[in-house]
Structure 1
């Protein structure tokens, strides 16, 4: 069955049933996201990764480090254009510090509508690219920006885990 770009995106929005996916919370936002989104290479894979992404960042927005860490593989490599390379332990410690330092602030991440793309990685999993709006408090002031991100997801023993992150354009 062939789906048009618009239909494939709407299928992804409806299947996930969460307002966190690329602005799918309203039909107007979904329409805007559809016109900007590139058609998924694999609609089912797109839905799966979009769902995993929404769960990950729901935990982030709730500042739930324990739930977040379940999404990352022990062999995680996190590349940040300003901070360099971090491993699993360093990333988890960084999230915990970030949450502790921003308990009452507006620390959150929102996917920029229409920017998520998901591609299969044969025999491994998937690569996800997107832009997100990230807000946190730094030096007593709210700091928000829109940044680019790439995540490599590995499917192993029926579980999706993030093995590589590249966060850039800060």
Structure 2
């Protein structure tokens, strides 16, 4: 990787709307990975790169939507709505246990659900994965990792 590539990467991160702090962390990760594999540090002594990252950090971005914390009142309302619904009783109990575990364990959704990569490995098409996850754009491509064994087999079939 050369300086131009890492500069383009920073430019792309900016175009994606990431903050300067996030871009700096990503660049540090790339640089660290390069060094771990015995390659030259692409950002070493790159004044242009450091000034670009500093500029991104100083750039004001529109305030992002601040999510409000879930409260016990939200949990009570959720319980009332859930148990007042037509969902089968065993599903109500299963959902309620997931909600309470997430609430009291302060879990993120990703900590108690499976990644879309699991569906990919199970042979689901991207259209099915998008439908299951209610994806409205191609952003799912960032989260679904292809199964490397399947890709290798496909490449071997293509190459003859």
State the TM-score bracket (shorter-chain normalisation): under 0.3
Bigger-Rg structure (1/2): 2
Q: Which one has more relative contact order, counting CA pairs under 8 Å at least 6 apart?
A: 1
Larger helix proportion of the pair = 2
Larger strand proportion of the pair = 1
State TM-score, norm by structure 1: 0.25
State TM-score, norm by structure 2: 0.26
